[in-house]
Structure 1
Amino acid sequence: MRIEFTKMHGLGNDFVVLDGRTGGLPPVDTTLAAALADRHTGIGCDQLIVLAPSDRGDFRMRIFNADGSEVEACGNATRAVGLLNGRPARIETLGGMVSTTPTDNGISVEMGKPRFGWQDIPLGYAMDTYKMPVAWEELVAPIAVNVGNPHAIFFVEDPYKIDMARLGPLVENDPLFPERINVNVAAVTARDAITLRVWERGAGLTRACGTGACATAVGAMRRGLVDRKVTVTLPGGPLVIEWREDDEIVMTGPATESFRGSFDLADYGVIPGKVEA
């Protein structure tokens, strides 16, 4: 059984998209997702995206990290899916409903409203998330924000001087974060500009993270470091993030289709069964 896929990326954060909106996909689980994401023996990607029918929106988007874990939200993938869809859409995710609109500057995504409660992140115990009294070596006093998935943001002088390969997994897997955490290191360079690197839970250091850009921008805005609309520059390029007065976060940026192809399920040890609903 051959399955068609589309390879896409948002600022270098890359995805394999399986389109099951009209049915025909086998069940996708952690094992298959990790196998497809493997860059040596699979197709290779930061996240596997599975589209399916939805009773609540135009369609549903499931997101699997490279390690196979299913997560709630991915901003760059949402832009990629918005490009693939080609017209405005309301998309159901585990993190809530999001909306995409094609624009002259790429794809604009309404990401929903941020949450700041310690239970919303969640943390292992009660704590003020505005300036958390915790530290991992030079990473100190983060602000925590949930924008569909959880983020800890550390404001530093130079994100590129932080050893993210070592400190990223240390913070991600700390018992303080029972569902793990995305780790952001950011420098505010102007009232409308932030430089950012992100260690994504289950994926590692990526070239761009849309939810990380949203969480970091909102964290900086909440602390009064920047205005309500900023450009967040990641290793893969810039995203424009606006936190509107109605509390909605809007992210705008590019997405790109790289190529299309197909794979045989048997190559990944999958015996086709019932199709995914």
Structure 2
Amino acid sequence: MGIAFRKYHGLGNDFILLDNRHQPEPLITPEDAIQWCDRHFGIGADGVIFALPAQGETDYTMRIFNSDGSEPEMCGNGIRCMAKFLADLETVETGSARPHYRIHTLAGLMVPRMEPNGEVTVDMGIPWLLAEEIPTTLAASDSKVIDVPLEVAEKSWQVTCVSMGNPHCITFVNDVAAIPLETLGPQFEHHPAFPKRINTEFIQVVRPDYLKMRVWERGAGITLACGTGACAALVAGVLNGKCDRSATLELPGGNLHITWNEADQHLFMTGPAELAFTGEA
């Protein structure tokens, strides 16, 4: 008897979802996750997400194993997929699903809300901006890292760092399509300035309310979309005076809408989450 799974994607950023509500530990190991995520010899995915029992005053707990077996703190596209997964499970079990979820993650509490059009809006919380919170050595521990130089591939890049519970390095470029992501991405990710490695976003400002983005995800490589990265990119754009507090982020897999609320500093991300297929492994 195998393990039942459902595969979802958020703008092509795809995940294997497991109903893990009956026990607090993941059903499979990081080594298993590597095999399951293999696109030639496994199911194929950017990561495996576990819907675990609640912790504290939450509804569920979320954990993720990346395609390389590492465990990130959070994933924006992944949490939208998890919300859709939970809504599908609850609808089968009770005939209806709750309109929102309080989900415990390693990055703190996340609250995804189901929209009438099928998309999911997530309160992503408040961005962390101090160097020690990223973490990075690009500035003093209690300072922000905004538009500072970073040497990568024999070139100086002006970067801004933001943590959404997971670390991001953002740099603005004239043409994201011209960036050799497959070679630059690993060099940013493993740069000694980032002791816990880094997610890297290359951003092209089309208009203050419209940005193009490509991403190299820590532990997964090139992905079609990254929710936390889109949030971090908008924050970096605002901090550098390049974009509005509400904008559309165009990623290779589609668009996300991000708003950074000035009143309480919370970020809100809205985008799709879709079931691809179900199976047993």
1:275 maps to what in 2? none
| Structure 2 spans left out of the alignment, 5+ residues | 88-97
1:80 maps to what in 2? 81
2:111 maps to what in 1? 99
Aligned residues: 263
- CA-to-partner distance for each residue in 1:18-57, whole Å, 9 max, x for gaps? 1111339764332111111111221110011011102221
- CA-to-partner distance for each residue in 1:118-140, whole Å, 9 max, x for gaps? 11110146444112222324561
> For structure 1, which segment, 100-109 or 67-76, has the greater mean C-alpha deviation from structure 2 after superposition?
100-109
C-alpha distance in structure 1 between counterparts of 2:120 and 2:236, whole Å: 23
| Structure 1 spans left out of the alignment, 5+ residues | 264-277
> For structure 1, which segment, 59-68 or 124-133, has the greater mean C-alpha deviation from structure 2 after superposition?
124-133
> What is the aligned-residue RMSD (CA, Å)?
1.5
Q: What is the correspondence of 1:207-222 to structure 2 with a 5 Å cutoff?
A: 207-222=224-239
Q: Is the 8 A contact 2:170 2:203 kept in 1?
A: yes
C-alpha distance in structure 1 between counterparts of 2:234 and 2:22, whole Å: 36
Q: Is the 8 A contact 2:11 2:273 kept in 1?
A: yes
1:206 aligns with 2:218: no
Q: Is the 8 A contact 2:138 2:148 kept in 1?
A: no
Letter paired with 2:249: V
C-alpha distance in structure 2 between counterparts of 1:132 and 1:26, whole Å: 40
Q: What is the correspondence of 1:11-90 to structure 2 with a 5 Å cutoff?
A: 11-23=11-23, 27-56=27-56, 57-86=58-87, 87=98, 88-90=100-102
- CA-to-partner distance for each residue in 1:244-269, whole Å, 9 max, x for gaps? 12111100011100111111xxxxxx
1:132 maps to what in 2? 148
Q: Sort the Cα spacing of 1:37 and 1:131 in 2 relative to 1 into closer, same or farther, 3 A.
A: same
C-alpha distance in structure 1 between counterparts of 2:123 and 2:16, whole Å: 22
1:6 maps to what in 2? 6
**Secondary structure of residue in 2 paired with 1:226:** coil
C-alpha distance in structure 1 between counterparts of 2:116 and 2:234, whole Å: 22
Letter paired with 1:29: T
The percent of aligned pairs where both chains have the same amino acid is 44
Q: Sort the Cα spacing of 1:223 and 1:251 in 2 relative to 1 into closer, same or farther, 3 A.
A: same
Letter paired with 1:112: G
**Secondary structure of residue in 2 paired with 1:119:** helix
1:151 aligns with 2:196: no
Which one of the candidate residues 111, 118, 127 is aligned to 2:124?
111
Letter paired with 2:2: R
2:92 maps to what in 1? none
Q: Is the 8 A contact 1:139 1:154 kept in 2?
A: no
Q: Is the 8 A contact 2:17 2:85 kept in 1?
A: no
